[in-house]
Structure formats: structure tokens, C-alpha cells
Amino acid sequence: MNIDQSKLTATEKNLLTLMGTGSIMATINHVPNDLKSITVYAEHHHEGKLVDTIDAMTISFDEKYPAPKELKLAYLNFDIEKKSYLKFGILEENGVSSAGPVLISNGFSEHGISGMAQMPQNVEYGEPMLIGFSIRDKGDNLSIESSITNKSKDSLLKYDDAVLYYAKLDK
């Protein structure tokens, strides 16, 4: 089982951009039959401190509803009237499951960027995987100098707001 950035057509990319300022999609390939559940969630850090864990959704699998061979994870971060919201989705062969939108913050800064984390070589059960991030800061000096991994994610916490997107698989 592996995970990587979803391959999207130009139209799909444009639709995601239209839907949200921080749209992230990842694909989990070669999902084994022993996958029992997947949980997608986010952490909101403000000025370096964890202020909220946004538990969006869990999908469970069993003999009657087995795990598909491929799962697409979507994290949509969008702003309405200077409030920032997050919506999650899991796409698979039987359809789409989604949760949200969830209010993340009132008064997010105008300057922000989103990106994908460097995906792990192997997906491990029970371990949270950092999928992507959205950062915002009052200044306009936002920059990511290297690949972001679960180990280097603290470099994102120096900004006013950081939302880290995760997935966790269990068997």
C-alpha cells in the first residue's frame, strides 16, 4: 500500500482551485483487504500552539462493505467573509463520503499557501500520516524551504495559523 499526490486533469485542478484556497488531494493505492477503517482529520495551530483537532470523519470496512483497492482523500480549505472553513472527503468506488464544513478560524490572514507533504514510502497502520497543510500569516513572507514531512512539520508552526491535514488507517 502506498500514498501519493492524486493525478488530476487540468479541469479537475481548476475546479479544486475554484472550490477552495487550500485544496489538497492524495490517493492511497493497493489498499489491502485487512483495512478496517480510515480516519481523516486536521490540527489547527495558532501562533505555534495546538488550538483544535478537527475530527472530520471515519469510514469503516468489513466483509459486507470491504475496503476498495484505491481511496482518494480530499481536504478543501475555503474562506467566506473572512472566516476559514475546512471540508473533508473520501472518494472510493462506491461513492463519496464527506464531512463539514467546519469553522477553523475567524479572521484568518489574507496571505496563505497550501501544499502537499512528502508522502511516506510505506503506509503504516495506526500511525497518523501528514498529507498536506495550509499556512497563513499576517506578513507576506510565506515560504517553504524544504519538503515537509511528519518529522519536519514544526517548521510550519512559526506562522500565525497552520492547519495540518492527516489520515490514519487501522486494521
**Measured distance CA(103)–CA(109) in Å, rounded:** 15
Contact criterion met (CB below 8 Å) for 23 and 73 = no
Query: Which of the four pLDDT bands, split at 50, 70 and 90, describes residue 20?
Result: low
For the segment 53-78, what is each residue's pLDDT rounded down to a tens digit? 887 788 899 989 888 888 888 887 77
Question: What's the order of all strands across the beta sheet hosting 70-80?
Answer: 2-5, 22-29, 70-80, 83-92, 95-106
Cβ neighbour number for residue 152 with a 10 Å cutoff: 15
Query: Which of the four pLDDT bands, split at 50, 70 and 90, describes residue 116?
Result: confident
Residue 103's pLDDT is what?
74
For the segment 138-159, what is each residue's pLDDT rounded down to a tens digit? 766 666 666 677 777 888 888 8
Nearest CA to 6 out of 87, 100, 116 is that of 116
User: How is the chain split into domains, by residue range?
Assistant: 2-170
Averaged pLDDT for residues 107-114: 62
Q: Reply yes or no on whether the pLDDT at 36 is more than 90.
A: yes
Residue 169's pLDDT is what?
92
Cβ neighbour number for residue 34 with a 10 Å cutoff: 11
